[in-house]
Structure 1
Amino acid sequence: MFRSRRAPRLAAALASATLLLATAACGGSGDDSDSAAADPGSGGSSGAFPVTLDHKYGSTTIESEPKRIVTVGLTDQDSVLALGKVPVGTTEWLGGYDGAVGPWAAAKIGKAEVPTVLTDTGTGPQAEKIAALKPDLILAVYGGLTEEQYTSLSKFAPVVAQPKKYNDYGVPWQEQTQIIGEAIGAADEAAKVVKSTEDAIRTAAEENPDFKGATAVVATPYEGMFVFGSQDPRSHLLGDLGFSLPEDLDSLIGDQFGANISKERTDLLDQDAVVWQVTDVTKDPDTLHKDASYKDLNVVKQGREVFVPESSDYGNALSMGTVLSLPYVIERLVPQLAAAVDGSTDTPVEQPAS
């Protein structure tokens, strides 16, 4: 699933989001499981345990350094890999990569066994398959577990669910990495890798002063026009680069990671730059430009559109928005954004070479 076409993969994410229920908080951690180290990795510290982490459904205590980690959060594997451990199980979302690990992170697997890939079709995690992996930690930080799903998974191992203070699928990558660092005993290493990626983004912003104060938004032509809100990782990245999001973006979208907009609100796309994730960068722009409510906006007339091929490694890295994928993204996205906001209508916004 989620391998080639926009509609199935975004629909599945939306389906997962719509399953989320408003529930009262509950606490606890899962039962300990018999486990053997798949790959102990580096960065773990026995002195960091026990550790208790708060989340949407209360708190979870992890008694000792985990050896068999399963990531239910759709991008949590990147944080685990960045911190020197290899999950025994991951959840597929984008790309159909071996182990659900993109090319920006694949080298981190090293000589360890490639993780077993689980799927989430919108009905929730595959509990039986997760149990068969005998996890001693289940991570669902970048996710949308319901209370029922959290309780079910907690029977097998301690579960760290999504933070309460953000929308589901809305945790910033920095905090995602830090939470996972604490969970696996690598808090100091988490701070280091977060700083490294933040430094790369900060350097890109400093080298492109035109970004500061300019407005931008990220969208995809899914069932019309779907716009991503401020808590989506794509929007986080624009903000970190210096861009401002439309003022009324979140009031229109509500407490979701994104939403479809009506024809009457395509003005939301008329920013200094609009980043489109599209299936086909040669055909989809022409289709968008036939839309009467969109084609006459200044962002179109003045050539300030950025098109990202959604199912490419580049597009998948942008969707992931993790501590490992973002350096890969900025090498490609920043030149496109610079061309879009340079003040000249003659500058083409070209696709990256690779």
Structure 2
Amino acid sequence: MFRSRRAPRPAAALASALLLLTAATACGGDGANAGTSGAGAEATASGGSAFPVTIAHKYGSTTIRSEPKRIVTVGLTDQDAVLALGQVPVGTTEWLGGYQGAVGPWAEDKLGGAEAPTVLTDTGTGPQVEKIAALRPDLILALYGGLTKDQYASLSKFAPVVAQPKEYNDYGIPWQELTEKVGRALGKPAEATKVVEDTEGRIKAAAEAHPDFKGASAVMATPYEGMFVFGSQDPRSRLLTELGFSLPEDLDRAIGDRFGANISKERTDLLDQDAAVWIVADVAEDADKLHKDASYKDLGVVGEGREVFVDESSDYGNATSFISALSLPYVLDRLVPQLTAAVDGKTDTKVEQPAP
């Protein structure tokens, strides 16, 4: 399910990995765990201690009774929030890049001198329960994920599990909320708020420096089995709106209650925006294929040079899909200049690939 850094067709791996997991998602319910209740409501710790703390999620709520020391992240981006708050997980789940410890270059400095986490993989059948148990976790984080009820119950037998929130599609939690929930789970809510504010400040500064983004339309897509478009609850799409862009008006109506979906040839109008950001395996090859597609090649976004291509096999491409408090500054430094060139109103402006 998860690809190595230079595997072929990474865009396909990215979309199919999440599709496999979301297709397996079951209806909500409570898991069986001494640290879990069915109340489903957030609870705040009393007195001066951060613990116990109770965090609501798709399958009820989970109580963490003391500061966790051995954290395993099953959520695909959850490790960045843990690292940003000064702790190193004992186990992470590999998704993008094939990096040591599943820690991207944008977050490496947060490891300090600590040993890199043990990397777990998922072949589409769910988390590796036995390997996770062997790590002796005292907290399992699965916020940016799609745990099923049964998977949640299995993991909850040996550690408190914070699953994905019920308010969003699977893989739909905003990075801000993910960071804040991890902060509560680790007993560091104030530190988490500071991390969020600092990263939001970087995004706000970029938006203010580029007033031409405000009101312009944009969309994120990848050429997976045709044309796969990311919806409004996908973190990549949220980055566009946080920068001031608007998404296609009927985007979610076209893809349903998922993080994204393939669109028909009749709906390529969704791609004809002021900027179309393509996450691709090979910039030259995929651009050429798109520009030969009869349903796409004559759109204004092509003829007027408003396409942005992100090389998914690069660190930049991985960071763009990762979307975390730590990866976002790395992405902004590269994506914002590309978006600026795309929406400058000049058809002869080339949208350059950023330096590594």
Q: Same fold (TM over 0.5)?
A: yes
CA contact (8 A) 1:31 1:155 kept: no
Q: Does 1:11 align with 2:16?
A: yes
Asked if the contact 1:72/1:138 (under 8 Å) is kept, the reply is: yes
Which residues in structure 2 correspond to 1:264-343 (within 5 Å)?
264-343=266-345
Q: Secondary structure at the match of 1:47?
A: coil
Whether the 8 Å CA contact 1:271–1:299 is kept in 2: the answer is: yes
- Other structure's SS at 1:48 match: coil
Q: Which residue of 2 aligns with 1:37?
A: none
Is the contact made by 1:208 and 1:338 (CA closer than 8 Å) also made in structure 2?
yes
TM-score (norm 2): 0.94
2:31–2:152 CA contact under 8 A, matched in 1: no
Whole-angstrom CA distance in 2 between matches of 1:274 and 1:11: 21
The aligned counterpart of 2:30 is 26
* Of 226, 229, 235, the match for 1:227: 229
Residue 346 of structure 1 aligns to a residue whose secondary structure is coil
Task: Report the counterpart of residue 160 of structure 1 in structure 2.
Answer: 162
Percent of aligned pairs with the same residue? 72
Asked if the contact 2:35–2:63 (Cα under 8 Å) also holds between the matched residues in 1, the reply is: no
Q: Which runs of 4+ in 1 moved over 6 A?
A: none
For residues 62 and 307 of structure 2, the distance between their equivalents in structure 1, rounded to whole angstroms, comes to: 44
Question: If the length of structure 1 is used for normalisation, what is the TM-score?
Answer: 0.94
Match of 1:125 in 2: 127
Q: How far did 1:30 drift?
A: 5.3
Shift of 1:27: 5.4
Residue 216 of structure 2 aligns with which residue?
Answer: 214
Residues in 2 aligned to 1:121 and 1:77: alpha-carbon distance in whole angstroms: 19
Q: Post-superposition shift, 1:63?
A: 0.3
Equivalent in 189, 192, 203 of residue 194 of structure 2: 192
Q: Is contact 1:46–1:64 with CA below 8 Å preserved after alignment? A: no
SS of aligned partner of 1:336: helix
CA distance in 2 between partners of 1:30 and 1:239 (Å): 40
C-alpha change, 1:314 and 1:191, in structure 2 (3 Å) is same
Root-mean-square deviation (Å): 1.4
Structure 1 residues 290 and 123, CA gap change in structure 2 (3 angstroms): same
Partner amino acid, structure 2, of 1:244: S
The answer to whether the 8 Å contact 1:29/1:59 transfers is: no
User: CA offset at residue 75 of structure 1?
Assistant: 0.3
CA distance in 2 between partners of 1:191 and 1:31 (Å): 25
What is the deviation of 1:28? 5.6
Cα offset, 1:274, TM superposition: 0.2
- Matched-pair contact (CA < 8 Å) for 2:180–2:193: yes
Secondary structure at 1:307's aligned position in 2? strand
Q: Distance in 2 between matches of 1:125 and 1:315?
A: 25
> Aligned to 2:277, what secondary structure does the other structure show?
strand
How far the C-alpha of 1:111 sits from its partner, in A, is: 0.9
Deviation at 1:10, TM superposition (A): 2.3
State the alpha-carbon separation in 2 of the partners of residues 298 and 266 from structure 1. 11
Q: Following the alignment from structure 1 to structure 2, what is the Cα–Cα distance between the partners of residues 31 and 181?
A: 18
Counterpart in the other structure of 1:98: 100
Displacement after TM superposition at 1:271 (Å): 0.3
